[in-house]
Amino acid sequence: MPDILAPDNVGLVTAQTHKFTTPLALDCGRSLPSYELIYETYGTLNEHHSNAILICHALSSDHHAAGYYSMQDKKPGWWDTCIGPGKPIDTNRFFVVSLNNLGGCKGSTGPKSINPDTNKPYGPDFPIVTVRDWVKSQARLADVLGISQWAAVIGGSLGGMQALQWAIDYPKHLRHCVVIAAAPKLTAQNIAFNEVARQAILSDPDFHTGHYYQQNTVPRRGLMLARMLGHITYLSDDAMRKKFGRELREGKINFGFEVEFQVESYLRYQGTSFVEHFDANTYLLMTKALDYFDPASEHNNNLSAALAKVAAKFLVISFTSDWRFSPSRSREIVKGLLHNKKNVSYAEIKAQEGHDAFLMPIPHYLRIFKNYMQQIEDEE
């Protein structure tokens, strides 16, 4: 909880919601007749509307990327390390827009929302949305905000995939694309982890084929397991060793199945606290959006061909210990851009923190990010 707000913090923020009444046709063949998107903005839109930046969120984040809702908040927004006055995404210069994606559970229309056709929550009937659908909905939000071209679209992990999709689908509507700790598509191993997470949720007796809202219950155990598994893939072996080693909570082994090692305690804590603020149906949808993302698939699996028409300048960043989306995955994106002679810079950041590193205040990372963003400012 902040006693006073740091000068490089965006301060107290409030979210806004916009209701869209034009139907949105989705990749799955269905369409959403109407939907709401919740978003936050930081900084001020300039006269020419040329300083806007879109932040795309990852699997389990939301629109609250920076600042606090109240002085009682324990934590700021999820990307507060990078967004704020003087930070890489400098709110003194840029107008930053961060939204919760469709299918989310933090205020945008998703499985928890009421289906107007039935007056009941969508639950498992909410259509499966793709990265392309999200980008389409984000483009509509840009229209509402009067932003015809983003100075940059930026995201980490699944957010980076959205940024990449933006550059492919709307080449003239962004000048820069910053893709951090992402991949051009998931590997079989990535999908396998997602599938285990989904099975954990789907096989929880409290899941009720997704209609658990009406049963006044939550598939807690399933969602908790899914999050525990996810967390293992977000950290590196080194980071876990450094953080927990084989440390025992009570200093001795008890020959039982209760929590003994600190790492077990940590994972259980992460799992249980996640259940309090995240929806299992949304988790299922988000993992599917990840699995389906593959822009090269429409171009004979040739990523270079998929990137042939991008116009944005790219910054691609990876982290050495990230094994979920390793540096070689980022290099695939870079290679596709190089083949097309596109403007691209690539930095591989030495970091122990694994996939989560993109959220951490790693000095070299912040410097690279800031130096690149500075050139966007200089164009203004």
Give the residue ranges of the annotated binding site.
227, 356
Which one of 226, 344, 357, 362 is in contact with other proteins (CB under 8 A)?
A: 344
By CB under 8 A, residue 350 contacts other proteins: yes
User: What does the alpha-carbon distance between residue 123 and residue 214 come to, in Å, rounded to a whole number?
Assistant: 9
Q: Token pair of 187, please?
A: 């590997």
Query: From the CB of 147, what's the least distance to other proteins, in Å?
Result: 24
Tell me, yes or no, if 211 is annotated catalytic: no
C-beta closer to other proteins: residue 158 or 347: 347
Which one of 19, 367, 377, 380 is in contact with other proteins (CB under 8 A)?
A: 367
Query: From the CB of 331, what's the least distance to other proteins, in Å?
Result: 7
C-beta closer to other proteins: residue 49 or 335: 335
Which one of 44, 148, 364, 377 is in contact with other proteins (CB under 8 A)?
A: 364
* C-beta atoms surrounding 377 within 10 Å: 13
Q: Where are the alpha helices (DSSP H) in the chain?
A: 131-144, 158-169, 188-202, 220-234, 237-243, 262-277, 280-292, 303-306, 327-339, 363-379
C-beta closer to other proteins: residue 177 or 286: 177
Query: From the CB of 189, what's the least distance to other proteins, in Å?
Result: 23
User: What does the alpha-carbon distance between residue 51 and residue 89 come to, in Å, rounded to a whole number?
Assistant: 11
Tell me, yes or no, if 98 is annotated catalytic: no
C-beta closer to other proteins: residue 63 or 329: 329
User: Residues annotated as binding site for substrate?
Assistant: 227, 356
Query: From the CB of 50, what's the least distance to other proteins, in Å?
Result: 18
Q: Token pair of 303, please?
A: 């990523």
Cα–Cα distances in Å, from 43 out to 11, 29, 91, 368?
11, 37, 5, 22
Among 108, 157, 318, 330, which one carries the catalytic annotation? 157
By CB under 8 A, residue 172 contacts other proteins: no
User: What does the alpha-carbon distance between residue 164 and residue 188 come to, in Å, rounded to a whole number?
Assistant: 21
Q: For 354, how many CA atoms within 13 A lie in the half-sphere containing its CB?
A: 17
Identify residues 118-137 at the interface with other proteins (CB under 8 A): none
By CB under 8 A, residue 339 contacts other proteins: yes
- Contacts (Cβ under 8 Å, ≥6 apart) of 123: 111, 210, 211, 212, 213, 214, 281
Tell me, yes or no, if 157 is annotated catalytic: yes
Q: Token pair of 52, please?
A: 């806007």
For other proteins, how many residues bind (rule: CB under 8 A)?
A: 22
Per-residue x/- mask for other proteins, residues 308 to 337, rule CB under 8 A?
A: -------x---------------x--xx--
3-state secondary structure of 212: coil
Which one of 47, 250, 258, 378 is in contact with other proteins (CB under 8 A)?
A: 378
Among 133, 204, 279, 322, which one carries the catalytic annotation? 322
Among 57, 63, 176, 355, which one carries the catalytic annotation? 355
Q: Minimal CA–CA distance to 197: which of 41, 308, 59?
A: 59
Q: Minimal CA–CA distance to 364: which of 326, 323, 327, 318?
A: 318
**Cβ(254)–Cβ(160) under 8 Å?**
no
Interacting residues toward other proteins by CB under 8 A: 315, 331, 334-335, 338-339, 341, 343-348, 350, 364, 367-368, 371-372, 374-375, 378
Which amino acids are annotated catalytic? 157, 322, 355
